[in-house]
Amino acid sequence: MTNPKTPRHVEIKDQDDHTAAEAEVTTDRGPEGTVRTSMHAKDAYVRTGHRARLVDAVMDLPEVQASDRVEAAIPYGDGESLERLRERTEDAQARAAGATTLLDANIPSSRSPACEEQAGNQAAGEQPTDDQSSA
The answer as to whether 26 is a domain residue is: yes
- pLDDT score recorded for residue 117: 43
Q: What is the CATH number of the domain that holds 87?
A: 3.40.630.30
The answer as to whether 118 is a domain residue is: yes
Cα separation, 85 vs 93, in Å, equals 11
Q: What is the mean pLDDT of residues 38-65?
A: 92
Residue ranges of the alpha helices (H) in the chain? 50-59, 62-65, 79-88, 113-123
**Secondary structure element (H or E) that encloses residue 48, with its range:** none
The answer as to whether 128 is a domain residue is: no
What digits encode the pLDDT tens for the residues 100-113?
999 999 999 864 44
pTM, full prediction: 0.76
The answer as to whether 134 is a domain residue is: no
Structurally, how many domains does the chain consist of?
1
Q: Is the pLDDT of residue 58 over 80?
A: yes
How crowded is the C-beta side of 13, counted as CA atoms within 13 Å? 4
Handedness of CA 84, 85, 91, 95 (dihedral sign): negative
* C-alpha to C-alpha distances, 33 to 8, 25, 54, 67, nearest whole angstrom: 16, 13, 21, 5
Domain that holds residue 15: 8-123
The answer as to whether 133 is a domain residue is: no
